[in-house]
Amino acid sequence: MPRTMTEHECQAFLAEPRVGTLSVVADGGRPPLTVPVWYGYEPGGTLSFFTGTQGRRARKTGLLERAGVVSLSVQHGEFPYRYVTVEGTVVGTERRPDADRVLAIVRRYLPEEVAQGIVAAELGRPESESEFVLFTVRPDRWLSFDFADDGG
């Protein structure tokens, strides 16, 4: 039978470089905004992710700032299936964040040279052309499912 993972297992799973699916409540009667994100996480700590746009304000940024809470779900999409969803509170919003903080996330997903180039290009834009925001979230609740003990 599938089982719920322990908090320690959830934290270890979330620390792996997976693409997360972020959900935040929407406005105007629309369904929640759900988008893929790169994120950073160390077990026992906060998680972080960034938003960015070119030349206009990101809808995601405004919704995150208004809601102050999010859900982030990550999964292992092959058998044995596993997923972890974190429900959390936004505890930090940093406009034009430090390059090292953004690089810590991007280098989880891309080779170092490519990560450096993307971060330099995005953070090098004039503020009027880009809104780049780093959000920090405190995990409040863990939801999980693990088929590893199912036996096939």
What domains sit in the chain, N to C, each tagged with a CATH number?
A: 7-146 (2.30.110.10)
Please check the confidence at residue 51 and state whether its pLDDT lies above 60. Answer: yes
Over range 111-119, report the average pLDDT.
92
Cβ partners under 8 Å of residue 16, min gap 6: 74
Highest mean pLDDT among 16-25, 52-61, 128-137: 16-25
The more confidently predicted of residues 131 and 34 is 34
pLDDT for 125 equals: 74
Over range 45-66, report the average pLDDT.
82
Under the banding of pLDDT at 50, 70 and 90, the label for residue 121 is confident
CA atoms of 127 and 67, how far apart (whole Å): 24
Under the banding of pLDDT at 50, 70 and 90, the label for residue 57 is low
* Dihedral Cα 65, 68, 73, 74, nearest 10 deg: 60
Under the banding of pLDDT at 50, 70 and 90, the label for residue 128 is low
pLDDT for 130 equals: 65
Please check the confidence at residue 65 and state whether its pLDDT lies above 70. Answer: yes
Average pLDDT in the chain: 89
CA atoms of 48 and 15, how far apart (whole Å): 11
Segments of 60-125 assigned E as strands: 69-76, 82-95
pTM: 0.89
pLDDT for 152 equals: 46
Q: Which tokens hold the place of 129?
A: 């052309």
Over range 75-99, report the average pLDDT.
93
Nearest CA to 18 out of 108, 85, 78 is that of 108
Give DSSP secondary structure letters for 28-53: TTPPPEEEEE-EEE-TTS-EEEEEEE
Which residue is it, tokens 């170092």?
112
- Strand-pair partners of 41: 47
CA atoms of 105 and 18, how far apart (whole Å): 11
Under the banding of pLDDT at 50, 70 and 90, the label for residue 39 is very high
